[in-house]
């Protein structure tokens, strides 16, 4: 069974639109087209319900949407403040008031992975998701020596092959 996690491509973002509504930027759309050319053509495609995630996979075909693959829910994250530092510290284990507990993120994400792997059967499963949610799940499932660095090294977009049997994650491109 093949599992590929995709971090979404670069969105068009700004303070007037909530992050969970950001669509892909023109640059992100071009990068998504390039990325999906390297994914298995027969894969089952699933994404979070956020436009930037499902739009990343749409060049490859029909995409199922599931909120369990959504980004970490967080309140009080400053638009013009140290959001990168807050996110990195969160995936590394710091608790922030108003942020979804990591154990909840990992549990919902894991339930989605298990369900869609069963549905996919012998077909590869490709899940488009978000950097923090992906990092939290991988860290809780397999352990990461430095989750903050793992998160910081993710690209827009990025594709990671997840070997569930051997608890290994590797970049596909």
How many Å apart are CA 173 and CA 158, to the nearest integer? 8
Give the domain extent around 18: 3-171
Specify the number of domains making up the chain: 1
- What's the token pair of residue 35? 């990325």
DSSP labels for 79-125? SSS-HHHHHHHHHTT---TTBPPHHHHHHHHHHHHHHHHHHHTTS-E
User: In this predicted model, what pLDDT tens digit does every residue of 47-87 receive, in sequence order?
Assistant: 999 999 999 999 999 999 999 999 999 998 888 889 999 99
User: In this predicted model, what pLDDT tens digit does every residue of 132-170 receive, in sequence order?
Assistant: 999 999 999 999 999 999 999 999 999 999 999 999 999
Residues 6+ apart with CB under 8 A from 22: 11, 12, 13, 50, 51, 52
Q: The CATH number of the domain where 64 resides is what?
A: 3.40.50.1240
User: In this predicted model, what pLDDT tens digit does every residue of 106-121 receive, in sequence order?
Assistant: 999 999 999 999 999 9
User: In this predicted model, what pLDDT tens digit does every residue of 21-53 receive, in sequence order?
Assistant: 999 999 999 999 999 999 999 999 999 999 999
């Amino acid at each position: 069974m093949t599992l590929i996690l995709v971090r979404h491509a670069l969105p068009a973002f700004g303070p007037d639109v909530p992050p969970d509504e950001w669509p892909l930027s023109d640059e992100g759309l071009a990068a998504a087209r390039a990325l999906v050319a390297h994914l298995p053509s027969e894969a089952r495609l699933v994404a979070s319900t956020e436009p930037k995630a499902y739009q990343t996979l749409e060049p490859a075909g029909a995409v199922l949407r599931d909120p369990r693959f959504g980004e970490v829910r967080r309140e009080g994250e400053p638009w013009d403040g140290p959001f990168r530092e807050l996110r990195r510290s969160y995936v590394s284990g710091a608790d922030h008031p108003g942020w979804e507990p990591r154990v909840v993120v990992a549990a919902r994400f894991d339930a989605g992975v298990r369900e869609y792997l069963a549905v996919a059967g012998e077909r590869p499963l490709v899940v488009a998701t978000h950097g923090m949610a992906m990092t939290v799940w991988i860290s809780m499932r397999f352990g990461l020596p430095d989750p903050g660095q793992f998160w910081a090294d993710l690209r827009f977009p990025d594709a990671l092959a997840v070997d569930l049997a051997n608890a290994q994650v590797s970049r596909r491109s």
